Structure 1
Amino acid sequence: MSLTIEGPVARLRLNRPDKRNAMDQAMWESLPRLVEQAVATPGVRLILLGSATPGIFCAGADIGEFARETASPEWRARNQAAIRATQLALARAPLPVIALVDGDSVGGGCGLALAADIRIASPRARFGITPAKLGLVYPLHDTRLLVDLVGPGQAKRLLYTGRLISAEEAQRIGLVEELAENVESAAEALAAEMIAVSPFTQKATRATVQRILEGTADDDAASTALFDQAFTGPDFAEGVSAFLARRKPDFAR
C-alpha cells in the first residue's frame, strides 16, 4: 500500500502485483491509517483508490493467508476487525473517495470498490463477490453497501452465485458509475470537476447521503443547522461573489 499527495488529490495505491493485489493482514491494517493521513493533510479534497499496476485492481483477501491462519480465533478476530476498519475508513471518510477499477475486483476487493463514493471501471474490469465459493459469509456492512447500490435482487444474484460480471453489466445494474478506456484520465477529469466546486458543499452532501443510507428520512435539527450554516460560510460568499462578477469561483481562497 502507498499514499501520495498531489496537491488536492490523495492517491492510495494497492501494490502487490504478484498476488493480484490480494489483501493480507498487513494491508488491511495499513489502509485505514493511510486514509486517516490523507484526510488530515491540509488542502486534500479527495481520495483516488487504485492500483500501482495497470490491469489489476484487487483479487480480494489473501486466501493463502486464510488457509494458514484461520484456525486461530485470535487471528480471525484481528482480521475481521482490520477489514471492518478499512471499509469504515473508506465509507465514512469526510472526503470523497473514487475507486479506479482496471482489472478484477473480487470478494474483499469488490468490497473496497463498494466503500468508495464513485466507481470508474475500464472495459477489462470484472466484479464478483465470491464467499459462496469458499463457504464463507460476506460481512453485513459490505453487503449493505452492495444492496444500497444495486438493490436486494441483484445483490442476492451476485452473492448466491459468486459469479464474475463484466464492467458493462456492473454499470447496467448500478455497481459502476462510469466506464472509461483509461481510468486514470477519467478519474483525473472527474477530480478536476470536483475540486472546482465548494468543499463545504461536498462534505455536507457526503454526510447527508450517509445519514439517508442509515435511515434518516426527513430534516431534523442537525440537517437544518447544516443548511443554515452554509449561508454564513466563506464558500457561499465566494460563490455569490463569483456569480455576480461572472467569473469562476476560487474556493481555495
Structure 2
Amino acid sequence: MIELPAELSLSVDGPVATLTIDRPDKRNAFALRMWAALPAVARAVESAPEVRVLLVRGAGDGPFSAGADIGEFGTVRRGEEAASAYSATVHAAERAIAELSKPTIALVQGWCVGGGCELALACDLRVADESARFGITPAKLGLVYNQVSTAQVVTAVGAAWAKYILFTGELLDAQTALRIGLVQQVHPREQAAEAALALARLIAQRAPITVAGAKALVNRVVEGTAEADQWAERWYAASYRSAEYTEGVTAFVAKRTADFSEIGWPKLDADGAPA
C-alpha cells in the first residue's frame, strides 16, 4: 500500500486496515523513523475508498508498544533543538492518527507504555487483553508531557486519574484501565484479537455518514463546542440527503438489515464538515 520502515506494516482486509508494529527485540518501541511514518499511514487510510476502520496493534500476541526508543535519545534528542524537533515529529504522528475522519481502534496486548500509550489514546477506542499494562512515564525521565497528549489522557479518564497516571508513572493493569475508561473492552488473551477485529467489522457495517459525523461531532464537543451551529447543520443536511438515509429507511420499512457496503466514505471540506 505504501513504503514503511521494516518495523511497520499496513494491510487491508475488506473495510478494515491494520497497522502492525513488529519490533520484538525492542518490545515494539518506536524509533524516530517509525513516528515519522505515521502521517503517511494516516493519509493512505484516509484516501483508500474501501477502508472504513483502522486497527492498530502489535504483531502476534503483542506487546502493543513499550513507547519511544529511549536508547536513541542520546543522538536524536541530543540538545534542546533536537529534542524539540523529535517531540514535534511524535506529536505530528499522534495528531495524524487522531484526526483521521475514519474510526480507529487500538488492540492492546502486553506493554502499552509512554509513547505507546500516547498512540493508543490517539485512537478512538481501545480493546485490551488481560495481559495489557498501561503507563505514561515522563515523570521518570524528567520530561513535561505534550499539552494535546495530556488532553487526550484527561478526556479518556478524567482529571484526577490523569494526574495519578502522570504524577506516578506507574503501570495500570487491564481491569483498572477498563474501570477508569482508558479501555472499552477487556478479553482473555486468546480472544482479544478476534474481538477487536469483530468490533472493527461491526463499525464498518454502519452508515458511513453517521460514523463520520459522530466522530466529528464528539471530537468537537471534547474541544469545547456543544451547541448546534451552521457547521453541525451541514452534517445534519448531508445525512438527510444521503444514500445511507435512503437505504436505512428503506431497510427499516422492509424489515431487513440495511446494507451500506456500496456507499463510499463522505467527502469532507478542509473544515471537517461534508463537502
Matches within 5 A, 1:231-250: 231-250=240-259
Number of equivalences = 253
Separation in structure 1 between the aligned mates of residue 74 and residue 176 of structure 2, nearest angstrom: 32
SS in 2 for 1:49: strand
Match of residue 23 from structure 1: 30
Match of residue 216 from structure 2: 207
Match of residue 230 from structure 1: 239
Q: TM-score, normalised by structure 1?
A: 0.97
The structural deviation recorded for 1:74 is: 4.2
Q: 2:176 aligns with which of 151, 169, 172?
A: 169
Q: In 2, are the aligned partners of 1:5 and 1:38 still within 8 Å (CA)?
A: no
Gaps of 5+ in 1: none
The structural deviation recorded for 1:69 is: 3.0
Structure 1 residue runs of 4 or more that deviate by more than 6 Å after TM superposition: none
Query: In the TM superposition, what whole-angstrom CA distance separates every residue of 1:78-102 from its partner, at most 9, and x where no partner exists?
Result: 3112111111111110000000000
Separation in structure 2 between the aligned mates of residue 45 and residue 240 of structure 1, nearest angstrom: 22
Percent of aligned positions that are identical: 44
Matched, 1:7 2:14: yes
Query: In the TM superposition, what whole-angstrom CA distance separates every residue of 1:14-39 from its partner, at most 9, and x where no partner exists?
Result: 11111001111100001111121111
Separation in structure 1 between the aligned mates of residue 70 and residue 112 of structure 2, nearest angstrom: 15
Q: TM-score, normalised by structure 2?
A: 0.89
The structural deviation recorded for 1:59 is: 0.5
**Alignment root-mean-square deviation, CA:** 1.1
Q: Which moved more, 1:15-24 or 1:75-84?
A: 75-84
Matches within 5 A, 1:83-94: 83-94=90-101
Matches within 5 A, 1:63-102: 63-102=70-109
The structural deviation recorded for 1:67 is: 2.4
Separation in structure 2 between the aligned mates of residue 252 and residue 165 of structure 1, nearest angstrom: 39
Q: In 1, are the aligned partners of 2:15 and 2:201 still within 8 Å (CA)?
A: no
Q: In 2, are the aligned partners of 1:55 and 1:124 still within 8 Å (CA)?
A: no
Separation in structure 1 between the aligned mates of residue 142 and residue 205 of structure 2, nearest angstrom: 46
Q: In 2, are the aligned partners of 1:50 and 1:99 still within 8 Å (CA)?
A: yes
Q: In 1, are the aligned partners of 2:209 and 2:244 still within 8 Å (CA)?
A: yes
